[in-house]
Structure formats: structure tokens, C-alpha cells
Amino acid sequence: MRVVARRVVVVTVVVLQLGLVARGYWSDHKEFAFQMFPESSTWRADVVRVTADGRRVPIELPWSGYRWDELVQDRGLTYPQVRHHADAGLDNQLAFLEAALDWVADNTPRDGETRYLEATVTSWHNADPRRVEVLRSGVREEAG
């Protein structure tokens, strides 16, 4: 019984590890794939709050007692307007930015005017030409 259990554990760990390494080639978050220093890509983003009356307010301006740089402090997202290296690759970085937009939209209850957050992202994948794309948070129903 012990022999079989040992065999199962070892084979499971090996297969799982190899699977996670393979998954790293298509997943945004490359957990246990160990792809170190994958890209030299850089990015920057203009992030705005789009209010219910259509105004586009940069997140560099505090709102309703909130500050972007206090709400988002990790993964190189604190100052998105500054061009940064995408430490773990561009896909990973933009997945984090998209999640951060959603988190801020969902966790700013005193804000009664923002309908959604929007990031206009300029990215440079290694030596490729720059690319511009727009990311948006979910729509906030509480916006007046």
C-alpha cells in the first residue's frame, strides 16, 4: 500500500509540474511555469474614470477620498502613466491591470459618480511596433 501511494505521489507531482510548465506557454499568470525574465516588453496606460455624465477624469486626481496609488500598490501598477517594464510579460501585466480596474471599481463605495474605469494601454512587445488597446472595468451600477 505504501509502495503504491509513494508511486502515485511521485508520478502526480512530476506530471503536475510538467503540466504547469506547459500551461505557462498560454496562460496570463504562469504559476509554477518558471519562465524567468521572459520579455523586455514595456507598457504605459492612461487610466481614467468615466462618470455617469460622460466626463473622463484621470485617476491621477484623487476622487471621493480615494487615490489610485493607495488603492493599487503592487505588480508595477501604482503609476500606470509611467512607462514600465512588464516584469512577467505583457500578457501577465495587462491581466493584472484589467483585474485592478475591476477591483477599484468594486471597492470604492463612496464614489457615486464613476460608471467605469478605462485604461488606454500603449505596449511595446520586445522590439515589435507599439500597440494600443483599451481595457475597461465592469460597469458600476451605483453611479448616479
Partner 1 sequence: MNAAAVGAAPHVRGVSARFDDLLGRRVSMRALALLRALAGPAVLLHLQPFLSDTLDGRTYRDAFYEPYAAWYPQLPDAVYVGLLWLAVAAAVAMSIGFLTRLATATTFAIDTYNLFLSTTHFHNNRAYLVIVLGLMTVAPCGRELSLDAWLRRRRGRPALDPSAPAWPLWLLRFECAAIYGASGMSKLVDPDWFGGTVTWQRVVRARDQLEAWPLPDWAVSALTDRGFHTGAAKAIVLTELFIAVGLWWRGTRYAAVWVAVAFHLAIEGSASVQVFSYLAIAVLVIWAVPSTRDRVLRIDPTAAGQRRLGAVVRWLDWLARFRVEPAPAGSRLEVVDRDGTTIRGATAVAFRLSRLPLTAWFALPALLLPAVRRARRGGRNTVTVAVAANNPLSER
Residue 36 vs residues 30, 31, 40, 86: alpha-carbon distances, Å: 10, 11, 11, 12
**In the structure, how many helices (H) and strands (E) does the chain have?**
3, 5
Regarding 60 and contact with partner 1 (CB under 8 A), the answer is no
Q: Which of 15, 18, 61, 139 binds partner 1 (CB under 8 A)?
A: 18
Measure the CA–CA gap between 117 and 104, rounded to whole angstroms: 8
Nearer to partner 1, 127 or 132 (CB): 127
The letter for the amino acid at 64 is: S
Q: Where are the alpha helices (DSSP H) in the chain?
A: 2-23, 68-71, 90-106
Site map (CB under 8 A) of partner 1, residues 110-129, x = contact: ----------------xx--
Kindly state the smallest distance separating residue 56's Cβ from partner 1, in Å: 21
Residues at the contact surface with partner 1, assessed by CB under 8 A: 3-4, 6-7, 9-10, 13-14, 17-18, 21, 24-25, 29, 31-40, 42, 70-75, 77, 85, 96, 99-100, 103-104, 126-127
